[in-house]
């Protein structure tokens, strides 16, 4: 009987390797029901799109033996979702989308749970940003924009989603680097910002490539520059701000968090799972490329270090902006 048992175990290991399921034997210790994937924002937004794409690819490519159930828990700039997941300490079957608000909200004192209260699983991508104006705008370069702002400080209106959102931070960094002065106008969503720009209610915006792509293709907006370190693959003619003498490189991370005190084998399993996901052709083509994102797979330790760096960076910037003391 012992020989037969070892033979079955050996076959199980072989099948695990053939199927490519990360650490399948270890996974069965805790993967006994669907994973609850908590999205900190409402359905239809960037984090929701990412979570549902992840769940779909994991299922289609059989990357995990249990399904992933996406649950939206919006509210309080991620405070609601953060509190819910933080309360699941040690539970390896709960994930959480983590972007800028994951860092900013606790810094503002609006959530008692900081990144230190979670397990870092991975970072999968960065949202890049484009500085856009209407096609009929007199501004054809960042130099034109900056010079006009210096001549009439505070008159040029920049649309954004909220302060201190990424778009507000980018506007502030451009001001700090160049001496320009904008009038920041907040809206409820990136879609509203685009509508306001096209309607002439604001003069410029810092938009995700995915948000601006349709307007770019319709030639309704002009792109003055990107906040990326190098030119975007799908927009090779768009110069970076750095190329134009403005030392601003900034993007929004897209990470996955989990409750604190996860078992080590769960963290290891998920590292391997997300690596496989990041290497998937479907992921690269349907998510990264179609949304014009920058791919960035990181391990648990690397992700935690990223959060630490981002927290220090945002604390410094938000103090300079006068948002926190």
Query: Are 86 and 52 contacting, i.e. CB atoms less than 8 angstroms apart?
Result: no
Query: Are 183 and 195 contacting, i.e. CB atoms less than 8 angstroms apart?
Result: no
For residues 114 and 138, state if they share a domain.
Answer: no
| pLDDT the model gives residue 28 | 61
Choosing from 212, 244, 276, the residue where a domain stops is 244
Q: Give the span between the Cα atoms of 287 and 268, in whole angstroms.
A: 24
Specify the range with the lowest mean pLDDT, choosing from 75-79, 123-127, 163-167.
163-167
pLDDT at 168 over 50: yes
pLDDT at 223 over 50: yes
| pLDDT the model gives residue 22 | 58
Q: State CA 308 to chain mean position distance.
A: 16
pLDDT at 150 over 60: yes
For residue 20, give every residue at least 6 positions away whose Cβ sits within 8 Å of its Cβ, in sequence order, or none. 63, 276
How many domains are there within the chain? 2
What range defines the domain where residue 216 resides?
130-244
pLDDT at 6 over 60: no
Q: What single DSSP character describes residue 285?
A: I
For residues 51 and 191, state if they share a domain.
Answer: no
Closest by CA to 106, choosing from 292, 285, 318, 320, is 318
Residue 9 lies in a domain: no
Q: Give the span between the Cα atoms of 163 and 190, in whole angstroms.
A: 13
pLDDT at 255 over 70: yes
Choosing from 216, 244, 272, the residue where a domain stops is 244
Choosing from 213, 244, 275, the residue where a domain stops is 244
| pLDDT the model gives residue 26 | 57
- Could you tell me the pLDDT band of residue 147, with boundaries at 50, 70 and 90? very high
Closest by CA to 74, choosing from 36, 39, 125, is 39
Q: State CA 48 to chain mean position distance.
A: 11
- Give the strands of the sheet with 94-98, arranged side by side: 68-72, 35-39, 94-98, 252-259, 118-127, 294-295
CA distances 79 to 35, 37, 82, 83, Å, are: 21, 16, 5, 6
Q: Looking at residues 187-211, what average pLDDT do you find?
A: 89
| pLDDT the model gives residue 85 | 98
Q: Give the span between the Cα atoms of 177 and 215, in whole angstroms.
A: 28
Q: What is the pTM of this model?
A: 0.84
For residues 240 and 278, state if they share a domain.
Answer: no
pLDDT tens-place string over residues 99-145? 999 999 999 999 999 999 999 999 999 999 999 999 999 999 999 99
For residues 169 and 184, state if they share a domain.
Answer: yes
pLDDT at 2 over 50: no
| pLDDT the model gives residue 16 | 46
For residues 311 and 226, state if they share a domain.
Answer: no
Residue 27, SS3? Answer: helix
pLDDT tens-place string over residues 20-62? 455 555 556 889 999 999 999 888 888 999 999 999 999 999 9
- Could you tell me the pLDDT band of residue 174, with boundaries at 50, 70 and 90? very high
Q: What is the secondary structure of 286-309 as a DSSP string?
A: IIIITTTPEE----HHHHHHHHHH
Residue 139 lies in a domain: yes
Residue 141, SS3? Answer: coil
Residue 5 lies in a domain: no
Closest by CA to 234, choosing from 286, 289, 296, is 289
Query: Are 249 and 228 contacting, i.e. CB atoms less than 8 angstroms apart?
Result: yes
Domain CATH for 103: 3.40.190.150
pLDDT tens-place string over residues 286-325? 999 988 899 999 999 999 999 999 999 999 999 999 999 9
**End-to-end Cα separation, the chain, in angstroms:** 69
What are phi and psi for residue 69, nearest 5 degrees? -105, 115
């Amino acid at each position: 009987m012992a020989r037969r048992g070892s033979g079955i175990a050996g076959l199980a290991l072989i099948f695990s390797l053939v199927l490519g399921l990360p650490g399948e034997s270890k996974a069965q210790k805790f993967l006994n029901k669907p994973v609850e994937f908590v999205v900190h924002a409402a359905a239809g937004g960037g984090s929701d799109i990412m979570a549902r794409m992840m769940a779909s690819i994991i299922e289609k490519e059989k990357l995990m033996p249990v399904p992933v159930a996406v649950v939206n828990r919006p509210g309080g700039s991620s405070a609601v979702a953060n509190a819910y997941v933080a309360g699941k300490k040690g539970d390896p079957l709960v994930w959480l989308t983590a972007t800028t608000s994951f860092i900013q909200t606790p810094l503002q004192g609006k959530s008692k749970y900081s990144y230190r209260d979670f397990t870092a699983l991975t970072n999968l991508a960065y949202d890049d940003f484009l500085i856009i104006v209407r096609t009929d705008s007199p501004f054809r370069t960042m130099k034109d924009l900056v010079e006009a702002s210096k001549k009439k400080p505070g008159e040029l209106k920049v649309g954004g989603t909220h302060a201190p959102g990424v778009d507000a931070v980018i506007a502030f960094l451009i001001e700090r680097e160049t001496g320009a002065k904008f009038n920041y106008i907040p809206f409820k969503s990136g879609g509203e910002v685009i509508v306001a720009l096209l309607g002439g209610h604001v003069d410029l915006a810092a938009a995700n490539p995915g948000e601006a792509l349709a307007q770019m293709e319709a030639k309704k907006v002009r792109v003055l520059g990107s906040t990326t370190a190098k030119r975007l693959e799908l927009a090779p003619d768009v110069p970076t701000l750095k190329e134009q003498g403005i030392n601003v490189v900034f993007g929004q991370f897209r990470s996955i968090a989990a409750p604190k005190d996860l078992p080590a084998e769960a963290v290891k399993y998920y590292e391997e799972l997300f690596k496989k996901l990041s290497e998937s052709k479907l992921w690269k083509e349907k998510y990264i490329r179609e949304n014009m994102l920058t791919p960035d797979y990181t391990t648990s330790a690397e992700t935690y270090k990223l959060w630490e760096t981002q927290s220090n960076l945002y604390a410094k910037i938000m103090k300079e902006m006068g948002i926190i003391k």
